[in-house]
Amino acid sequence: MSYSQMMGRIEILENALITIEKLLAPGYSCCGLCGRPWKFAKEHITNYSPSSGCFPLCQKCWEKLTPQKRLPFYHKLWKEWKNTDVKWEDIKKVVLEGK
């Protein structure tokens, strides 16, 4: 078996595991990239102020992406917040700083 075939099988298994995890964690939100529920995923918290932070990505997915490629996930989460005083520019700044 070639390396690429093995990686393809690993990806299939990971996707199956995430599907099972979703069934075991009803009501939990998930990582914006891989879809793993927060019950099973380690979040990467990005602090945009001394007392506030957010986590649209799990640690594993956060590490795979550059700051620029992370931005859409943070922006999507920020847009979902209702009645927030948090400014997008505050979040964007720390994301681009790699935090």
Q: pLDDT tens for residues 47-68? A: 999 999 999 999 999 999 999 9
In the 8-state DSSP scheme, what is residue 26? T
Angle between helices 67-80 and 88-96 (to 10 degrees): 160
Q: Would the pLDDT of 6 be above 90?
A: no
Structure confidence at residue 7 (pLDDT): 84
pLDDT at 10 exceeding the cut of 90: no
Tell me which residue range forms the domain holding 13. Answer: 3-96
How many domains would you assign to the chain? 1
Which whole-number Å values give the CA distances from 62 to 7, 16, 26, 90, in the listed order? 20, 21, 23, 19
Under the banding of pLDDT at 50, 70 and 90, the label for residue 1 is confident
d(CA 10, CA 82): 38
Per the CB < 8 A criterion, the answer to whether 62 and 31 are in contact is no
Q: How confident is the model at residue 30 (pLDDT cuts 50, 70, 90)?
A: very high
